Each structure stands twice: as C-alpha cells, then as structure tokens.
Amino acid sequence: VAVGDAVPWQVVDHYENPRNVGSLDRNAKNVGTGLVGAPACGDVMKLQVEVDENGRIVDARFKTFGCGSAIASSSLATEWVKGKTVDEALKIKNTDIAKELCLPPVKLHCSMLAEDAIKAALADYKLKQDPNKEESEKKA
Amino acid sequence: FCPGCRALQPPVPRPDLFRLMDCDRSFRIDAQQLQRRFRSLQRAVHPDRFGRRPPKEQYYSEQHSSLINKAYQTLLNPLSRGLYLLELKGIEPAQETDCDADSVFLTEIMEINEKLAEPKNEDILEEIETVIKVKQEELTKEVTAAFERDDLQEAKKLLAKMKYFANLEDKLKSKKIPS
C-alpha cells in the first residue's frame, strides 16, 4: 500500500478480518479448484467451491498471496458465491467486486483476478462432473 | 554540460537508459562496467557537488542524479532489465491472468508462499531462500537465451514467472528483518 493513498475501509476490513481463508479437499468430486495468477504484479489466488447435489455452492475457501486489494477481492468472492448456483456464480463480474470494495483504478486488475478465479473453480468443478469429457480426452 | 559556459543542462526527456549507462541495448550486461559508469556519472552530477551553483543547476543536478539511480537500478536487476528491454522493443508486459496452462507453475508458487507464511525458524527460511535463488538463476539463464535468439514472446513469459519469484524474495527479506 503506497504511503499517502487512502486504502478503502472495505479493503482493510477484508484484510484484517478475512472470511473463508483456507482449503477444501481438492480431490472431492464436488469441489472445484481455481488457481490463477496476475503476471503484472505476481499475485497468486486460489479459490475453491463445494457444490451440492442441486448445483448450489454451499462452501467456498480462498488463499491469496498478494496485495490487500487482491486478498479483499478473493475474500469477497468467496462470500458472494456461497448460496448461488454454479450458473449464478458465473455471472459475478469484476466490476461488481471493484465497486463493492471501492477499488481505485490501479487495483481494478485485482477484482478481475477474483472473477477469473471464480470461473476457473467452476470450470474445474464442471470438468469433474462430466465423464464424457474425460472419455474424449482419453481417446485423444 | 554546456560546452561553452560549462553550466549543467537539464537531462534529455525520455532518455534511453542503456545509452545513458553506456551499455549495449541487450539483456547481457557487464555488471562491473555498469557500476563503474554509475559511479563516474554520479561523481559528475551529484547534488553534493552543486551546492554553490545557481538554483537551476542544483535542480538539474538532482534530476540527473535521480535519473542515473533509476537507470542503474533498472539495468542491474535482471527482471527490471528484461521488462525495460521488452518495453523498448515495443512489447507490452503480460497482462492476462495466468491460469490453466500454468497450473503446475502456479501450484509451485502457491506452495512456496504457504511455506513462507507459516511461522519459521532460520534454517527453513534459508532453505526456502536457496530454492528461490536457484529458480531465479535458472530463469535468468533462460531469459538470456530467449533474448539472444530474439524470442521476445518467450522472454515475456519467462519474465512473468520471474515476477512471482521476485515477490517471494521480497516476502522472505521482510521475514528476515527482526520486527
């Protein structure tokens, strides 16, 4: 955090009281894991979702190594995906995250990283549910 | 310096840092030559030598000195040197999120970060430091080779990887500083 730049209190809140830090069992069939990185700043973000038999996300965890805005974005993302269906969660946009956290322009890429992490986790979950895809990959 | 009256002139706008430090515009540099050039330039323009000169020259001296510091730091460090070289060649630094294709690499970065985050003793920190150093040296070699065969896209990818390790290096340094 640069000296002199006001950090939005929302970011500080997520940084000091992060929600849902941790891991889920990545080998569980109903757990999707997204692992993404931002090459420009070197931040890494892991986001995991646990989905029930009705396609609804019942739990989410994250681990992020990077700036406060990246941590806050992923923390907020785990809060938002809980209770949503997979398709609803796919609709979460980085602009919504950035707005909620009052991210300054220079930190908008952090919210984009969180959106990408959600999508990666859900894509991983979907892949695990679809045996057909595994079949075609075996043939390839 | 003005050839006529020997007064210090302002630095040129948007200077080429390689030219300023008298280095070839390439990734391979002679670190000792760079350091010698840095010192000799600072001897000529450092604000300490301009205490009795007119305010305008004092101001230019600060600008020159600061620019020379920036040039030296940029060219000395392989990551910043590589990124600067890409910039000069018109290549934008990597902006897109890394994901699927790089999951092995990202997993490795994640694991080192997690190890670093745990409370640690000195020995383990040393181990992690060695791992990071080795990786950085490997990547620097690969970047050198990429630039040499003018494979700028590969250089860009490798420099992105170096950024992750640079962050780890910074985190480790701050862990070593007793609080």
pLDDT value of position B174: 86
Does residue B158 contact residue B142 with C-beta atoms inside 8 Å? yes
pLDDT value of position A137: 52
| B114 in the same domain as B53 | no
| B159 in the same domain as B103 | yes
What CA–CA distance (Å, rounded) separates B109 from B168?
8
Q: Which of A36, A46, A109 sits opposite B98 (nearest CB)?
A: A36
pLDDT value of position B4: 73
A67 among known catalytic residues: no
| B120 in the same domain as B72 | no
Q: What is the ipTM of this complex?
A: 0.84
With CB atoms and an 8 Å threshold, state whether B110 touches A36. Answer: no
- Boundary-marking domain end, from B46, B76, B106: B76
- Residue B123: pLDDT band by 50, 70, 90 thresholds? confident
Chain A CB contacts of B163 below 8 Å = 39-42
| B72 in the same domain as B100 | no
What CATH number is associated with residue B145?
1.20.1280.20
**Among all chains, which residue has been given the structure tokens 């701050």?**
B174
Interface test with B, best of A1, A23, A35 (most B CBs within 10 A): A35
B160 touches chain A (CB under 8 A): yes
Q: Is residue B112 part of a domain?
A: yes
- As for how many domains chain B has, the answer is 2
Q: Is residue B81 part of a domain?
A: no
With CB atoms and an 8 Å threshold, state whether B166 touches A35. Answer: no
Task: Taking residues A80-90, report their average pLDDT.
Answer: 96
B81-90, B112-121, B126-135: segment of lowest average pLDDT:
B112-121
Rg (Cα) of chain B, in Å, rounded?
A: 20
What CA–CA distance (Å, rounded) separates B11 from A137?
60
Q: Is residue B12 part of a domain?
A: no
- From the number of C-beta atoms within 10 Å of its C-beta (0-12, 13-18, 19+), residue B178 rates as exposed
- Residue B178: pLDDT band by 50, 70, 90 thresholds? low
| B143 in the same domain as B101 | yes
What CA–CA distance (Å, rounded) separates A3 from B65?
23
Chain B CB contacts of A36 below 8 Å = 97-99, 106
Q: Is residue B128 part of a domain?
A: yes
Domain that holds residue B35: 17-76
Ramachandran region, residue A23 (left: φ > 0; alpha: ψ -120 to 50; beta: rest): beta
Task: Taking residues A43-58, report their average pLDDT.
Answer: 96
A102 among known catalytic residues: no
Domains of chain A listed by start with CATH number: 9-126 (3.90.1010.10)
Rg (Cα) of chain A, in Å, rounded?
A: 16
- Which one of the listed residues A41, A44, A108, A112 is annotated catalytic? A41
Q: Is residue B42 part of a domain?
A: yes
| B114 in the same domain as B71 | no
Question: Which residues, at least 6 apart from A90, have a Cβ–Cβ distance to it below 8 Å?
Answer: A118, A119, A122
- Boundary-marking domain end, from B26, B41, B76: B76
Q: Which of B99, B102, B109 sits opposite A116 (nearest CB)?
A: B99
pTM value is 0.87
Does residue B16 contact residue B23 with C-beta atoms inside 8 Å? no
Q: Closest Cα partner for A41 from A10, A12, A69? A: A69
Q: What is the pLDDT of residues B38-68, one digit of tens each?
A: 999 999 988 888 888 888 888 989 999 999 9
Q: Terminal CA-to-CA distance of chain B, rounded, Å?
A: 46
| B101 in the same domain as B72 | no
| B139 in the same domain as B110 | yes
Would the pLDDT of A93 be above 70? yes
What CATH number is associated with residue B23?
1.10.287.110
